[in-house]
Chains A and B, each alone.
Chain A
Amino acid sequence: MERKIEYTKLQLVFLVLLRFSIGWHLLYEGVAKLMNPQWSASGFLKESQWILSGFARWIVSDPQILNAVDFLNTWGLIAIGLGLIFGLFSRAAAISGASLLFVYYLNCPPLTGIEYIRPSDGNNLVVDKTLIEAIALCVLALFPTSRITGLDALIPDFKTRKRKGEVY
């Protein structure tokens, strides 16, 4: 089994805060898309310019694929957000969240020479907030807190008890 990581109280507080805030952000991104029936990823994908632009065009070209992507994106964000907040399957949530955010980043990276029509969020060069959030999720995956404060705490407990033969 995994080696248990020991944190100081302060380390734990801030790691959990980071988990809550990213979870909150992704959950609301998903919920906002769910509540706006007009929302579609097509506007974002049409702007895609770097190595994933071919992939983005393929998605936009077929309304069925686009619908599926919109659905998966919305519910993916909600699931990841809930996972992070409740600390349930938190590591899986952090890794999938990081991957999703990394895909967003690769579609529209703020590289010199690539210009976007969409208004950007602040001033970015190579690194933007999406990339930072993706990296922060990687950090959360490596420094898990959900077994200390989160529903994941109940799962290893359950497993341990099963191993000890307390649960039949």
Chain B
Amino acid sequence: MNDGENKSGMKRRTMLKALASLPVAGLFSYELLKKSSYDIDKRNSVIKELGLDSIEFPVSDYGKTKPTGDLIRIGFIGFGTRATQLSKALGFIHPEEVTKMTKQNTLAGWLQQEYLNVAITGICDVFDLRAENGLATAENNIRPGGENAVKLPVKRYLTYQDMLADKDIDAVIIATPDHLHARIAIEATKAGKHVYCEKSVAHTEEELNELYATVKSSPIVFQLGHQITQSTVFQQAKEIVKKGILGKITLVETTSNRNTANGAWIRHLDADGKPKPGDETTIDWKQWLGHSPYVPFSTDRFYNWTKWFAYDTGMIGQLFTHEFDAVNQLLHIGIPKTATSSGGIYCWKDNREMPDSLHCTFEYPNHDLTLLYSGNLASSRNRGRVFMGRDASMELGNTIRVTVDRDSEKYKKAIQSGIIDTDSPMISFNPGAEQIDAVSSASTKYYASRGLTTTTVNGRPVDVTHLHLREWLKCIRNGGTTSANIEMAYQEGVACLMAHKSYIEKRQVVWDEVNMKII
């Protein structure tokens, strides 16, 4: 009996000791609940304070629909570096790229890219080597859509005129050097082809006006190559601006920051420092020059054309175009009243004409706004793209960070009560997240500042160029307006030509909106 009592006493004691951790677990649960409700409360009050509680972000149909409509047969005019990126975004890569991507373990992900129901059926490049690359790319069967992807023969055209005359081409992608863009786009439109044209849209005012008039009077679908608007964060930025969270915006600062020879358009040498291939036997130099003044062939000009005024407007055409598009898509400011540019060749003192340090000021008195652009090719310090409002500023890159202004009247109470902290971004948007990340922790703040090269749609990483081409194809099939349509392209074209003219003539230039002329 005694023995039994002892035993059960022992058991009870063992049981009690075994469960000694229960209070610890209880305390943990209590603290966890307290912490999570504190976080939720704080997040909710910030979101409410900023008026973000009623924001609805557009939901993309990406990956949820099957390609409908007819097959679109596409011709590439120009097949250099940008064209290989564009063809990849369309669903075509070179066999060598397949090997490379297999090694890098990225092929499977790319093959999941939405099948766009297109075939590249024509390649036109003045350089044989590039045309051959284009043919091999277009003919490669390893692509999204797998076995069901349409396979059509691919033809090389020696001139773009030949391609435009072919009724078996429905649409063209223009990825040539900039001085040829407008001329080819005008002729393509006249030939009834849909046009996807890389920036910059035009090299002269006359060509820009002609292109505008031609596209306006044609039923074709035009898209300028600005993929930034396709990113998920950009759609979110649109909502932030629409909601008036930033208050009155009077200053937008945009920048480009590069510090490499490649970034300064020195591209005629390969990785080993040897000249890249190409000579007059393999390159149709006369066709490459187009309407620009004759100069003897050189690999320098062929690869590094951005250095000369005859072919480009440098940072304005190559980099500021993206900045202008981003700002114009968000704020719809259109053509500036005046533009003033200054700069010089301060670092890359080779045979170039193009400045490597360039700063432009665009005034919009009718919108009470100044748009600044500052580009530098001798420092890669990231200066970002910032929209400055009286109540908050928004830094828009691959992520969005909104910081409340310490002197904001609108958020005064919330700042005083400590709900809003003005020393660090109060809300950040990450393309990977489908919700607002308010009062982000130190580490999320840190990661928000790091770049991402793709956007995320419905939880999948997607190339923004792919989305931009997809939008163009969708408009070709179903009608509708592309985001970088001819109106946007015209406004951007004028702003860029104004900035360039100002730099060349070393004076402020003015937009005469009555006569639609730069004076």
Contact = CB atoms under 8 A, between A and B. Distances in A.
Interface stretch (A27-35, A69-77, A106-114): A27-35
B430 A85 contact: no
B109 A63 contact: yes
Interface stretch (A1-9, A94-102, A148-156): A148-156
A61 interface: yes
B109 A43 contact: no
Contacts of B443: 43, 118
A20 B461 CA distance: 41
A35 B105 contact: no
Contact of B18 (A31, A62, A154): A154
B24 interface: yes
Interface string B318-343: 00000000000000000000000000
Contact of B461 (A62, A63, A149, A150): A63
B25 A149 contact: no
B430 A38 contact: yes
Given A61-B105, A119-B442, A86 B25 contact: yes
B21 A85 contact: yes
A115 interface: no
B104 interface: yes
B36 interface: yes
Given A85-B25, A119-B442, A150 B14 contact: no
Nearest to A27: B28
Nearest to B13: A153
B20 A85 contact: no
B442 A35 contact: no
B14 A154 contact: yes
B32 A61 contact: no
A23 to B, nearest CB: 8
B24 A20 contact: yes
A29 to B, nearest CB: 12
Contacts, number: 61
Contacts of B17: 148-150, 153
Given A20-B24, A87-B18, A150-B18, A35 B36 contact: yes
Given A61-B105, A119-B442, A150 B21 contact: yes
B21 A87 contact: yes
B437 interface: yes
Nearest to A118: B446
Bin the interface of chain A by size.
20 to 34
Contacts of A61: 104-106
B504 interface: no
The SS class assigned to the B binding surface is: helix
Bin the interface of chain B by size.
20 to 34
Contacts of B20: 16, 149-150
Interface in B1-55: 11, 14-15, 17-21, 24-25, 28, 32, 36
Nearest to B441: A36
Nearest to A117: B446
B432 A38 contact: yes
B380 to A, nearest CB: 15
Interface string A56-91: 000001110000000000000000000001110000
Contact of B14 (A31, A35, A157): A157
A27 B437 CA distance: 23
B159 to A, nearest CB: 43
A38 B399 CA distance: 14
Contacts of A16: 20
A86 B36 contact: no
Given A27-B28, A61-B104, A86 B442 contact: no
B448 to A, nearest CB: 10
A24 interface: yes
A122 interface: no
Interface in B102-145: 104-106, 109
Residue with the greatest number of chain A CB neighbours at <10 A, chosen from B14, B432, B461: B14
A37 B456 CA distance: 14
Interface in B425-453: 430, 432-433, 435, 437, 442-444, 446-447, 450
Interface string B173-201: 00000000000000000000000000000
A153 B14 contact: yes
Nearest to B442: A119
B24 A149 contact: no
Contacts of A152: 18
Interface in A12-26: 16, 20, 23-24
Contact of A119 (B18, B437, B446): B446
Contacts of B32: 28, 31
Contact of A37 (B14, B36, B106, B433): B433
Nearest to B25: A85
14 contacts: A24-B28, A28-B32, A37-B435, A38-B430, A38-B444, A61-B104, A86-B25, A87-B21, A118-B446, A119-B446, A151-B18, A153-B17, A153-B18, A157-B11
Interface of B: 11, 14-15, 17-21, 24-25, 28, 32, 36, 104-106, 109, 430, 432-433, 435, 437, 442-444, 446-447, 450, 461
Given A61-B105, A85-B28, 5 more contacts: A37-B435, A38-B430, A38-B432, A43-B450, A119-B442
